[in-house]
Amino acid sequence: MRVLLYGAGGKVGAVLAPALQAAGHQVVGVGSGDDIDPSGHEAAVDFTRPDAVRGNVERCLEAGVPCVVGTTGLGPSDLASFDELARARAVPCFVAPNFALGAVLMMRFAAEAAQHMPRAEIVELHDEAKVDAPSGTAKATAQALPGEVPIHSVRLPGLVAHQEVLFGGRGQLLTIRHDTHSREAFVPGVLLALERLTTLPPGLTVGLDTLVS
């Protein structure tokens, strides 16, 4: 596929660009300040910043380019706008707060555990450079659990992306933990999303979970 990669120079983008090329995609990297017409590209991938992603994705969708979005910090109005534009142009827009397969499984296991141990809290830990808090994964996990689940955010150097879901019961504690040690962890999920993109319905699809049976 001819893929526009927004944020190609970033920490995730720098890992994704060669991996997408190795998988056979033609990649055009887009950095902040670049003004590229998305028309004619078969897909756009965005790993940029919360204040940049909406403009990038809206421009691509308006040009009829399907999108795969990894940038976090998106709110309900951003998602509603993507859905409306994507439906209007009859193209898919896929958004995932976490492209790591292990994180998808963590969320599934947490939802199952909550059926038996409903008292839960989430601790998410990320590199200090992460702008948004709580993380998109923590918010998605909390939404998948019953009741109001408190989220604790840690931002420190030396971390990549980590999350614990703690379930407390009388005399016992269950911890479900996922650790991302390297940004390579996000590559298979992005490749899967690109592979499935043309099979998705027009409009917004959220979560890698929807692609992993």
The site for ligand NAP (CB under 6 A) is made up of: 6-7, 9-13, 30-32, 47-49, 52, 56, 70-73, 96-99, 130, 186
| 13/26 Cα distance (integer angstroms) | 14
Which C-beta is closer to ligand NAP: that of 38 or that of 70? Answer: 70
Which C-beta is closer to ligand NAP: that of 7 or that of 92? Answer: 7
* Beta bridge partners of residue 28, listed in sequence order: 4
By C-alpha distance, which of 90, 129, 106, 121 is closest to 208?
Answer: 106
What's the closest the beta carbon of residue 137 comes to ligand NAP, in angstroms?
8
What's the closest the beta carbon of residue 38 comes to ligand NAP, in angstroms?
11
* Beta bridge partners of residue 149, listed in sequence order: none
What's the closest the beta carbon of residue 48 comes to ligand NAP, in angstroms?
4
Which C-beta is closer to ligand NAP: that of 130 or that of 152? Answer: 130
Q: Which amino acid is at 46?
A: D
What's the closest the beta carbon of residue 173 comes to ligand NAP, in angstroms?
27
Does the annotation mark 126 as catalytic? Answer: yes
By C-alpha distance, which of 170, 167, 127 is closest to 150?
Answer: 167
Which C-beta is closer to ligand NAP: that of 17 or that of 167? Answer: 17
- Which residue among the candidates 11, 41, 116, 126 is catalytic per the annotation? 126
Does the annotation mark 130 as catalytic? Answer: yes
| 128/70 Cα distance (integer angstroms) | 18
| 5/26 Cα distance (integer angstroms) | 10
Cα–Cα distance list, 129 to 10, 11, 71, 209, 210 (Å): 11, 10, 14, 26, 29
Would you name the residues annotated as active-site residues? 126, 130
